Structures are given as C-alpha cells and as structure tokens.
C-alpha cells in the first residue's frame, strides 16, 4: 500500500464501509465542505446515472429545455422521431448556449450569436457567412465534425437520466434490479397535470434528503398523520447493496373523494399491491414511490453543498390522469404528498445544521431501523473510494 492509497480513507470513509453495528455515518465534511462537494460531483454524480429532468416537460417533436446540472449547461430536445436527446448546451462555434428557455423549436436549434443551426439530432446544418459575406461554407469548417456534443442519456419512468462521465454501465444494466423489483409497474405512466407537479427548495445537502426518505423510523414523530394508519410495525426495509434502498408499507390506503371516487389501478398488479406500497431511493438522486393507483418521482437537484431542490411529479394510469371527474382528487392527492414532504423539511434542514457540530462523528446507526440509510452511506463511501483509487493509480 503506498502513501496515497493509505490516505484514501483518511477522512473516515473506511468507518462508513464497516457493518452496520460498528459503522459510522459519513463525516461532516461530506455535507458541508466545498472541496468534498466538488469531489462528489465527479465521483458520485457524474460517474453514475443521475436524474436531471422529466420527459413530460418536452412532449412534442421539437420541444427543447435547457437544464443546468451542477454547473454544466445541458439541453434536452425531443427529435422528429419522438426520442429525447441531451446535448451540451454550447454552440460549437464560440460556445454560446443555444437554448435559453423551454419552448418549441422551429425545426432546428439556432444559435442566437452567429446563427449556426443544428438539427434536432444535433447535426450542424447551416453556417451563415462562415466563409465571408454570402459564403455559407468554408473548407476549414467541416460540418460533419461539428455537431452538438451529445451526453449519454436514458429515459425511465419519465425521468431523464444522464451519465456525464460516459463510462457507467448501460442504463438497463445499472437499473436492472430496480426494474425487476417493480416490473409490474413497467406500464404507461401518465402525468397528472399541473396540480401534480411541485417543487420544494430545501437548505440541506441532497444526501440528507435521500437518507431521510429511505427510512420509516421517523414516521411516528415527523408524520403523525401518516402514522395514524400506517404504523412503524407495518413497514419493512429494502436494501439492495450498491443500487437502491428504501422502505415498504403493508397498509397503503387509497385516497377517496367526497363521492367515494378513487383512482383506477395500474393494470394487472398482483395482490401484494392491494394494500402495499414501496418507496425507494434509486442512487444517486431519485426518490420513487409506487402504489396501486399512482406513482411519484422526486428528482433531487443539488444546487450547492447545502442547497437542494426537490422536483416532485405524480403519475397515474391513462384514465386516472385524464378523467375530469378526478381533477379534485388529483389535487387532493398532490396536497397530501406535499404536506408529507413539507413535514420532512425541518429534519433534513436540521441534520444539515447538525453537520456543523465539529465533534459530530457521522452518527450511530440503529442496526435494525437504519439499514436502508446505511446502505446509501456505504454506496456513497464506496463511490468516493473507487474514484480515489482510480486517481491514485
């Protein structure tokens, strides 16, 4: 072992990797230090499949939206075949961002600076006056080498995932276990419309939002309303090492409207889902929930080391999303979830404050209740370690 590799776990990640009864949580600096945040971008968020947006926001051919992901300007575009592509939002000429706001393009992405135009598939198609006034070509400008730079992307459950580093396994392989676990829910998801979309800005490190979502331990105190029918003992832990973790409940109760109306179920679900529901953190930055009659996805957008935006979107079956008589129920369901997620804000912001206590040692996990949280910590620590080892080689 050389000096460098000896130093890889110097900040406590080795203690995180231990078994839960002796492990400690990630040390403070993983939540508050700018240097660690920069390291984390590369080691955790860019090297895996991170979520950046929702495909339903660009429903039609030619729709485009700019997305800034941890400082990287990106643009998601739906092409003429209906597929979504993600490009770096920077013109190949002088680097100007091509798309400034969400909207429908008229066939091409036109740079606002010198008007170079790109097809929806990223090909450079026109370069006005590039060879001098009236000369739209020049032997030195090889259009076929100057297409927009594509970022690896994949859509699953309406979520746009990107792998910035380009070297993660194929998405289908990366997500194989969660897809398998929820294969019954691999069916059309239809967004519930305006009322089913909201965001919460939270003064916390994105990881604390994951850690809180993973566990049901806090239900009795933080969510007394939920806990009144779905008690601690009705929950079970879900831990899939290196991939995802979360919790399930055995007593999901469907929401009913004043006239007794309810949302239609997803098709062909097995009995498990009559009264069951599951909530998973799919690493790194997506929180998912599935129920017989609706599903939701939350993308955690890490804005800064201590600032996160939670983008929440709720989905139904085709019928559930479009039936006008269920409009009020969809709003009520969104309000219900919003209330629950708001209840979590004081703890995720509180834990962030606690990370400034200099003698806090990462914390002690309950070997019984905190398994899913520890599974996430271990994954993060492992990703840091892997990247540091690769860097030390």
Q: Tell me which residues touch Fe ion (CB under 5 A).
A: 344
Give the closest residue to 37 by CA, choosing from 211, 205, 213: 205
Minimal distance, residue 173 CB to Fe ion, in Å: 31
Minimal distance, residue 332 CB to Fe ion, in Å: 19
| Cα 392 to the center of its chain, rounded Å | 29
Q: What is the DSSP letter of 127?
A: -
SS3 content of the chain, % helix, strand, coil (to 5): 35, 25, 40
Q: Which stretch binds ligand FES (CB under 6 A): 34-42, 66-74, 107-115, 251-259?
A: 107-115
Structure tokens at 301: 């957008």
Minimal distance, residue 274 CB to ligand FES, in Å: 56
Longest dimension (CA), the chain: 75
Toward ligand FES, which CB reaches closer, 31 or 116? 116
Minimal distance, residue 238 CB to Fe ion, in Å: 15
Q: Which stretch binds ligand FES (CB under 6 A): 63-71, 114-122, 266-274, 384-392?
A: 114-122
Measured CA to CA in angstroms, residue 326 lies from 252, 254, 274 at distances of 20, 14, 20
295-305 as b/e, with b when 16 or more CB fall inside 10 Å?
A: bbbbbbbbeeb
Toward ligand FES, which CB reaches closer, 125 or 340? 125
Kindly tell me which residue out of 72, 96, 309, 328 binds ligand FES, with binding defined by CB under 6 A.
Answer: 96
Toward ligand FES, which CB reaches closer, 116 or 316? 116
* 263 φ/ψ angles, rounded to the nearest 5 degrees: -80, 145
Toward Fe ion, which CB reaches closer, 63 or 344? 344
Structure tokens at 139: 């032997």
Q: What is the DSSP letter of 48?
A: S
Picked from Fe ion, ligand FES, none, the partner binding residue 379 (CB below 5 to 8 A depending on kind) is none
Q: What is the DSSP letter of 234?
A: G
Kindly tell me which residue out of 4, 18, 94, 356 binds ligand FES, with binding defined by CB under 6 A.
Answer: 94
> With binding defined as CB under 6 A, does residue 109 bind ligand FES?
no
> With binding defined as CB under 6 A, does residue 138 bind ligand FES?
no
Q: What is the DSSP letter of 83?
A: -
Q: Which residues within the stretch 345-384 sit at the binding site for ligand FES (CB under 6 A)?
A: none
* Residue in the block written with tokens 């859509």: 155
> With binding defined as CB under 6 A, does residue 93 bind ligand FES?
yes
Cα-Cα end-to-end distance for the chain: 11
Measured CA to CA in angstroms, residue 339 lies from 78, 197, 222, 239, 287 at distances of 33, 13, 11, 26, 16
Minimal distance, residue 115 CB to ligand FES, in Å: 6
| Cα 229 to the center of its chain, rounded Å | 29
* Residue in the block written with tokens 């559930």: 320
Minimal distance, residue 28 CB to ligand FES, in Å: 43
CB 273 within 8 A of CB 184: yes
Toward Fe ion, which CB reaches closer, 156 or 279? 279
> With binding defined as CB under 6 A, does residue 114 bind ligand FES?
yes
> With binding defined as CB under 6 A, does residue 99 bind ligand FES?
no
Picked from ligand FES, Fe ion, none, the partner binding residue 272 (CB below 5 to 8 A depending on kind) is none
Picked from ligand FES, Fe ion, none, the partner binding residue 123 (CB below 5 to 8 A depending on kind) is none
Toward ligand FES, which CB reaches closer, 17 or 146? 146
Toward ligand FES, which CB reaches closer, 47 or 127? 127
By CB under 6 A, name the binding residues for ligand FES: 91, 93-94, 96, 111, 113-116
């Amino acid at each position: 072992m050389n000096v460098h590799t000896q130093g890889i776990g110097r900040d406590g990640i080795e203690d995180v990797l231990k078994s839960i009864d002796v492990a400690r949580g990630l040390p403070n600096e993983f939540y508050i230090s700018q240097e660690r945040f920069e390291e984390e971008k590369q080691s955790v968020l860019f090297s895996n499949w991170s979520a950046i947006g929702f495909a339903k926001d660009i429903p039609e051919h030619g729709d485009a939206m700019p997305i800034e992901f941890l400082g990287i300007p990106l643009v998601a575009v739906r092409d003429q075949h209906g597929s979504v592509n993600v490009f770096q939002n920077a013109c190949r000429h002088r680097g100007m961002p091509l798309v400034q706001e969400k909207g429908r393009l008229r066939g091409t992405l036109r740079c606002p600076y010198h008007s170079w135009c790109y097809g929806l598939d990223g090909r450079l198609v026109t370069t006005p006056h590039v060879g001098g006034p009236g000369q739209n070509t020049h032997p030195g400008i090889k259009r076929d080498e100057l297409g927009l730079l594509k970022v690896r992307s994949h859509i699953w459950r309406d979520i746009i995932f990107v792998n910035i580093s380009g070297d993660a396994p194929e998405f289908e392989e990366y997500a194989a276990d969660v897809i398998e676990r929820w294969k019954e829910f691999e069916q059309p998801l239809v967004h519930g419309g305006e009322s089913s979309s909201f965001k919460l800005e939270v003064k916390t490190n994105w990881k604390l939002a994951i850690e809180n979502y993973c566990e049901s331990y806090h239900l009795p105190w933080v969510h007394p309303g939920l806990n009144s029918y779905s008690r601690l003992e009705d929950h079970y832990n879900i831990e899939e090492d290196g991939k995802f973790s979360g919790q399930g409940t055995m007593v999901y109760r469907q929401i009913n409207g004043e006239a007794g109306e309810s949302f239609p179920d997803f098709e062909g679900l097995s009995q498990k889902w009559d009264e069951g529901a599951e909530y998973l953190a799919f690493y790194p930055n997506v929180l998912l929930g599935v129920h017989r009659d609706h599903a939701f996805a939350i993308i955690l957008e890490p804005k800064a080391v201590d600032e996160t935006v939670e983008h929440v979107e709720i989905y139904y079956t085709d019928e559930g999303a479009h039936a006008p008589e269920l409009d009020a129920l969809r709003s009520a369901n969104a309000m219900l979830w919003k209330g629950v997620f708001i209840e979590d804000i004081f703890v995720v912001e509180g834990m962030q404050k606690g990370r400034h206590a200099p003698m806090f040692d990462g914390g002690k996990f309950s070997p019984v209740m905190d398994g899913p949280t520890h599974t996430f910590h271990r994954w993060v620590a492992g990703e840091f370690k892997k990247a540091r080892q690769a860097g030390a080689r």
